A and B are shown apart, each in its own frame.
Chain A
Amino acid sequence: MMSETRQRTRDKVLTAAEAVARYVRPGAVLGMGGQNIGRCPMALTHEIIRQRIGRLTVVGCNLSIGMDQLVAAGLVRRTESGSGNLERFGVTFCWRRAIENGSLEVEDYSHLAMVSRFLAGEMGAPFMPTRSLLGSDLLPATGEAGKAVVIEDPWNPGQRVALVPALQPEVSIVHVQRADPSGNIIIEGFATHEPEMIRASHHVIISCEELVSTEEIRAHPERTTIPFLYVDAVVVQPYGAYPTSTYGHYDYDAAHVAAYQEAAREGSPAVDEYLRRYVWGCATFDEYLALAAGSERLIALRRAMEEML
């Protein structure tokens, strides 16, 4: 059983390497923030790959490019999610291949069912009822009780309801716009499943575009999405979601997402070469940004976002 002790210091700022080494252990249940091409925690994902922390169970609602790269690196034994894809850029190809060749266990839910599991987890409830899943093959065959069970609604006899088990990831990684050194975080724009998942997790590593002062947080407490109590480590990493977008900061880089997808679709050796070049070949995420995008491109993505809003 893992320790429930969260980091209680006022200054939780660490490098990605330090944060990942401290809080992500082999075999962990890892919660992934972001969705599709939006705010995926890429800097933290790269660091997990760099440190080759394996046998992970990756959980989230939509699992996207970050999860696929972890699978490509051979670090994932199981996923639990509502979907795996990058929409217009295709499915998560390494994930698909690993499922099809039997090297990856997969547990499918709907997105609402996954949110409901995090909701139970964040409230300390053992499970959550939902009327999603009913009648579908997402419900397990009779007798397999681990994934979901259907009961009669105690208050409405004859009415069926599905119960999904609480999910409390051992550690979650999320990229946000702003955080202070103690771990108060501000998510701007859409927030997907992250608030529920963060509060459900035993440990949380945040990467952020901007470090703000605690004074600033206290001046506008209504802007705080999640208070510091849930957060263990804060990694300051501008463009930390690249090549996915960060609302209010920069657009996604379609060319680089497509380049990864092409390698992922092809599989070995193309995707190994991608990881060698862009992850293992880079000592830090800033090195990767310089190699994959360069400052001009990064500025253009920032402008594209400004123009859009």
Chain B
Amino acid sequence: MTPASSPAGPDHSRQELMVIEAARDLRDGDIVFVGTGLPMLATTLAQRTHAPNVVMVIESGVIAPQVRPTPISVSDPKVMHRAVKLGTLREVLGCLLQRGMIDVGFLGGAQIDRFANINSTVVGRGSTQRRLPGSGGANDMASHCRRLLIITHHERRRFPERCDYVTSPGFLDGPGGRERAGLSPDFAVTVVTDLAVLENDPQTCALRIAALMPGVTVEEVLAATGFRPEVAPEVRTVAPPTPDQLRLLRDELDPERVYLKAEESATTSRR
């Protein structure tokens, strides 16, 4: 639907840059509750680059592993490699997450609306309903994390005005929504996509465009978004990847291209 736009760079795909940009969002020392797939790829990349002291916590009970490439599940033995503790769901979802000890919850794609509410349960209504896997630990992450980081491909259907079903709470109906529901208002959301970075406006709570991938225009982002996001006062351009980041991602972290699509170049997006 979007014509081939100007290339994001000659040597990397937008998907690769999306993972790299999400990795940059993690600060050294962050304790990160991470799902498999692109979030784990980005977190491992952060550990291998600017944030060696990022601590991973994985839902199945795994604490501080040094994951081996490339795990495909929270129960994949590769995520358990050299962990300090292999425990239980209660220990990580209860004793770390609900206890308030996790800095960042890092989730993969689903449906995300204007107020950063997330749907991973059911899309559509009536006879066109499509059942999705459900919450898993996502509701728990969104309920208890101070920062929520989401990585997802930018498609209109993924960014509706309002989710068909709120599996995991963002800002609910806007300012004050979390407090009214009984959740902590100390909460921020960043959504990194292959087109842009969206962040919640601190006043209105709505997601707005904070950064653009190189070569992507605001119009392109608007066309791929089901609601109409505001544009932050100063929109930055996402920095291109360094050779080291690309090499790590391609040669060490996902050498078999389990998650990174080989065919996707800078000029051919999935849409």
Contact = CB atoms under 8 A, between A and B. Distances in A.
Contacts of A309: 77, 81
Interface bracket on A: 35 or more
B86 A190 contact: yes
Given A88-B37, A132-B140, A111 B135 contact: yes
B172 interface: yes
A83 B165 CA distance: 15
A244 B73 CA distance: 11
Nearest to A119: B90
Interface string B33-64: 00011000000000000000000000111100
Contacts of A116: 94
A99 B124 CA distance: 14
A189 B79 CA distance: 11
B166 interface: yes
Nearest to A159: B182
Given A137-B165, A137-B166, A196-B90, A112 B137 contact: yes
B62 A190 contact: yes
B223 interface: no
B133 A110 contact: no
Contact of A112 (B75, B97, B131): B97
A160 B181 contact: yes
A111 B136 contact: yes
Contacts of B181: 134-135, 160
Main secondary structure of the interface of B (DSSP, over half): loop
A39 B75 contact: yes
Contacts of A15: none
Given A108-B121, A133-B139, A36 B165 contact: no
A38 B73 contact: yes
In the complex, which of the residues B37, B140, B168, B169 has the most CB atoms of chain A within 10 Å of its own CB atom?
Answer: B140
A194 to B, nearest CB: 7
Contacts of A86: 73
A62 B167 CA distance: 15
A4 B87 CA distance: 29
Given A132-B139, A134-B169, A194-B88, A85 B133 contact: yes
A306 B30 CA distance: 31
B74 A87 contact: yes
Contact of B89 (A85, A115, A134): A115
Contacts of A131: 98, 143-144, 182-183
A-B pairs, 9 with minimum CB distance? A38-B75, A160-B182, A135-B181, A88-B72, A85-B133, A110-B139, A112-B93, A83-B136, A83-B134
Interface of A: 34-39, 61-62, 81-89, 91-92, 95-96, 99-100, 108-113, 115-116, 119, 130-138, 150, 159-162, 188-196, 244-245, 247, 251-252, 305, 308-309
Given A39-B75, A85-B134, A189-B80, 15 more contacts: A83-B135, A87-B37, A89-B72, A110-B137, A113-B139, A116-B94, A132-B140, A136-B139, A137-B121, A160-B182, A190-B87, A192-B75, A195-B90, A196-B90, A308-B68
